[in-house]
Amino acid sequence: MANKFDTNPLDPEFPEKARAKAASASTAPQTPFKTAEFPSAPHSVTEEETRRFTESDFQAYSFQGGSVPAAQEVPRFADMNAASSRKVGKVGMPEKWLIGLPYLPFYIGLVAGVVLLLLIPKEETKVRFHAAQGLAAHLAILLVTSILGIIGGLADLGSVIFSIVTMVMLIVFAIKAWKGKPVHIESVDDLTNWLEEKIGPMKS
Residue 139 has a pLDDT of: 97
**Residue 112's pLDDT band (cuts 50, 70, 90):** very high
**Residue 81's pLDDT band (cuts 50, 70, 90):** very low
pLDDT tens sequence across 138-191: 999 999 999 988 887 777 888 889 999 999 999 999 999 999 899 999 999 999
pTM of the model: 0.59
Q: What percent of the chain has pLDDT over 70?
A: 62
Helix (H) or strand (E) holding 129: helix 125-151
**Distance (Å) of CA 36 to CA 33, 109, 146:** 9, 97, 108
> For the chain, which residues make up each domain, given as ranges?
83-139+173-198
Residue 35 has a pLDDT of: 56
Radius of gyration, alpha carbons of the chain: 49
pLDDT tens sequence across 10-32: 666 766 777 777 766 555 555 55
Q: 177-183: long-range contacts at Cβ-Cβ below 8 A with a sequence spacing of 24 or more?
A: 177/96, 177/99, 177/100, 177/103, 177/130, 178/83, 178/96, 178/97, 178/99, 178/100, 179/83, 179/96, 180/81, 180/82, 180/83, 180/84, 180/96, 181/81, 182/81, 183/103, 183/130, 183/133
Q: How far apart are CA 137 and CA 3, in angstroms?
A: 135
